[in-house]
Structure 1
Amino acid sequence: MFKAMIILKRRDDLEFEAFKSHWLSHHAALVRQLPNIRKAVFNFSEDQGAGDVDAVSELWFDSEQDFLDAYASETGRKVTEDALARVSRRERVMLSEHVIL
């Protein structure tokens, strides 16, 4: 299983709760429409974004190619556009997940 973790820092002009609310509603609705996505989890900082990270998105696909194809699609472009409009920093980490427990 292929997994992408996306580390996010919201724009300075966005309140943490407004960012979180948008991510869990509008952004989540877009992510659900990505072709071939298997699972999505959004994690939010317990310190309300006081540090360098506000959220981490975890997205699962069968393969890296499925991930690339999903983000090359019209829906993928909308997901990216929505994210980039609200974050000051976004870092993608591509992973091969191995569940041990």
Structure 2
Amino acid sequence: MLSSVEILDDYTFLGAANNSNITSLQNNEGVYTMGKLDVVGKYHLGEFINKFQHGSLVPYSDACRIPTVTFGSAGGVIGIIASLPREQIEFLEKLETSTTAMIDGVGDL
């Protein structure tokens, strides 16, 4: 059961379920059937999110124009979901891969 929903744009939606998962859904533009959304992302947060809100925790700045959605949970957690540019995502993926190759995870994970 969904506990909170936010519309990101005309085709993309964000939902939080009572099982502590966040799911992003997208309308398939090639399909003309109403009510069919494709799951494009899943994340287990471990918190019961009860509120999404467009915006940021800091005042608006020209230096950072990344679209963000702030969320709050029943346990008091406050977080941000941000839409990053493709080049920044690629950089962070390379950083993650390099870090994983050099540092052993806890419990051999």
TM-score normalised by the chain length of structure 2 = 0.26
Q: Which has the higher strand share?
A: 2
Greater relative CO (CA pairs within 8 A, separation 6+):
1
Greater gyration radius: 2
